[in-house]
Amino acid sequence: MSVEGFLDRFDASTGHESVLGRSGWLGVVAAGLALAVFPAIAGATEPFWMDLVSRIMVFALFALSLDFVFGYTGLPSFGHAAMFGLGGYAAGLVLLELTQNALVALPAAFVVGALIAAVMAWLSVRARGIYFAILTLAFAQLFYIAVFDDMPAYFVDATSVLGGDNGLIGIPFYTLFGTELSALSDYYYLTFGVLALSFALIVRLANSPFGRVLKGIHENEDRMAFIGYNVKRYKIIAFAISGGFTGVAGALFVPIISVAHPGLLGWETSGEVLIMILLGGMGTLWGPMLAAGLVLLLEDMLSSFASWQLVIASVYVLVVIFAPKGIAGVLRSLKEDPAGTPRRIHDGVVTYLEKIRG
């Protein structure tokens, strides 16, 4: 069976139009193949790139998880760093105290992230819009303080549990089927495999009847409640699923930097991923993943300049002004009408100047 035929059958099995569509899946397959062969190229030229791309894939998973609940479901979470950091801490404790087996640590991080997210959503879901967002941010800061002050140590009467402001230091790499994944290429493929599996599961979930209810809640929450759906329950479940995958992203990140520290739960971490979602295109799922790569590449390439943050901020501003639908919207426009690109750029500039002039 051809790739196109497989994708047509995949979309047909959902009973409605796929979130990605055939062309979208073809792009995903092409990107997957490129990532699969990348270690062979990087290993022969500059191995450092494998480390950078591994980090990109971690934040791509983070952005994907947040976009599922923010852009797709319509729950504006400003506190997803809590699940990212606590998932990292959960994996770190498992790696340091129990086992280095990835098949134990990663599911543990998923469970911790999902439970924390479920509690946050249950306490916040009665609010809407910016009020919900502020509540999630407040809860994330509470968890940040709890980790920074190592509050679990007080409850178990121990000297240290989470390491306080130093965090958990010396976190080792995972093992899988008895093999330690300390080599750059080995850990790269672990991260790639987890990202690919997570992406397939989230897209499949978005294409399911459950996912269509979430989309309906995003478009008109009151109508979905009127026709009989328990909107609050769907929100909590969606938030918990997103939190679980975010916890896995955190669990993949801490062995790369060999430490789980309170900064992983900080509002700056949530803010950076929110920028990725805005740049990539909210609700597209794949757009924020591309934006994660763009953001981390820009940070790495421009970090040698004294005013590198100003350059990156300028890029963000230009994208938000002239491409409000993000990278995904730009690519879709190029696909639908490539010849009209100069006209769209001209119209965008003219419209923006007119708004400035009042």
pLDDT tens-digit readout, 271-303: 889 989 988 888 889 889 999 998 898 888 877
Residue at token pair 């100003």:
310
Task: Flag whether pLDDT at 103 surpasses 70.
Answer: yes
Residues 63 and 280 sit within 8 Å (Cβ to Cβ): yes
346 CB-contact burial (10 Å; exposed 0-12 / middle 13-18 / buried 19+): exposed
Average pLDDT for 259-272: 91
Closest C-alpha among 63, 66, 113 to residue 91 = 113
Task: Flag whether pLDDT at 166 surpasses 70.
Answer: yes
Average predicted confidence (pLDDT) for the chain: 86
Residue at token pair 């006209």:
343
Task: Flag whether pLDDT at 18 surpasses 90.
Answer: no
Q: Which is more confidently placed, 102 or 356?
A: 102
How far, in Å, CA of 121 to CA of 50, rounded? 36
Task: Flag whether pLDDT at 16 surpasses 50.
Answer: no
DSSP letter for 170, please: -
How far, in Å, CA of 198 to CA of 212, rounded? 19
DSSP letter for 172, please: P
Identify which of 25-29, 91-95, 321-325 has the greatest average pLDDT: 91-95
Closest C-alpha among 262, 241, 263 to residue 111 = 241
DSSP letter for 167, please: -
Task: Flag whether pLDDT at 215 surpasses 70.
Answer: yes
Q: Which is more confidently placed, 329 or 143?
A: 143
Residues 280 and 264 sit within 8 Å (Cβ to Cβ): no
Torsion of CA 194, 253, 298, 75, to 10 degrees: 70
Q: How confident is the model at residue 13 (pLDDT cuts 50, 70, 90)?
A: very low
| Count helices and strands in the chain by DSSP H and E runs | 16, 4
Average pLDDT for 192-209: 94
- For position 313, what pLDDT does the model report? 78
Residues 315 and 306 sit within 8 Å (Cβ to Cβ): no
Sequence letter at residue 150: D
Task: Flag whether pLDDT at 346 surpasses 70.
Answer: no
Sequence letter at residue 120: M
Average pLDDT for 343-351: 67
- Measured CA angle at 240 (ends 14, 147), to 5 deg: 150
Q: Which is more confidently placed, 200 or 7?
A: 200
- For position 352, what pLDDT does the model report? 66
Average pLDDT for 260-274: 91
Q: How confident is the model at residue 348 (pLDDT cuts 50, 70, 90)?
A: low
185 CB-contact burial (10 Å; exposed 0-12 / middle 13-18 / buried 19+): middle
- For position 209, what pLDDT does the model report? 92
- Give how far the C-alpha of residue 59 lies from the chain's centroid of Cα atoms, to the nearest Å: 6
Domains, in order of start, for the chain: 48-322 (1.10.3470)
Task: Flag whether pLDDT at 132 surpasses 50.
Answer: yes
Query: Helix, strand, or coil here: 99?
Result: coil
- For position 101, what pLDDT does the model report? 95
Average pLDDT for 210-238: 92
Residues 352 and 322 sit within 8 Å (Cβ to Cβ): yes
DSSP letter for 323, please: -
Reported as a single tens digit per residue, the pLDDT across 46-94 is 778 889 999 999 999 999 999 999 989 999 999 999 999 999 999 999 9
Alpha helix (H) ranges present in 46-164?
A: 48-67, 81-97, 102-124, 129-148, 151-155
